[in-house]
Amino acid sequence: MDIIKVAGTSRTSAVAGAIAGVFREHRYAEVQAIGAGAVNQAIKALVLATKYLEKDGISIAFIPQFSDIEIDGKVRTAIKLIVEEHVPSGPRKEEPEPSPES
């Protein structure tokens, strides 16, 4: 499975389509971005991809990691965004209400 590489000049909708496509097939995707502009595009694409996949009943969430990669002989720190299925764990629940009197 290929890593989806995002540049600052990448079109958000194209990246989002790629993320959704890879995720539909593998139930997993990896997105890589180097630099603030690229990370920003990647996150915007992730918002869109989340919406695309919601239409298929799929919830996704992301885990960010640092990833050292070599480009032209220089080591650069990329941000790698691991895309996984999101299983809501219920953290949005309000305080429990055990009885109407409380």
Q: Which residue has the tokens 């918002």?
A: 47
Single residue of 4, 15, 16, 46 touching a second copy by CB under 8 A: 46
Q: Per CB under 8 A, does 24 bind a second copy?
A: no
Token reading at 67: 């990833």
Taking each helix axis from N to C terminus, what angle separates 12-26 and 36-54, rounded to the nearest 10 degrees? 50
Single residue of 19, 22, 31, 39 touching a second copy by CB under 8 A: 39
Nearer to a second copy, 69 or 73 (CB): 69
Nearer to a second copy, 74 or 93 (CB): 93
CB of 51 to a second copy, least distance (A): 9
What does the angle CA 40 – CA 44 – CA 47 come to, to the nearest 5 degrees? Answer: 145
8-state DSSP, 10: S
Q: How far apart are CA 24 and CA 26, in angstroms?
A: 6
- The residues that touch a second copy, with contacts defined as CB under 8 A, are 8, 26-28, 35-37, 39-40, 43-44, 46-47, 50, 60-66, 79, 81, 84-89, 91-92
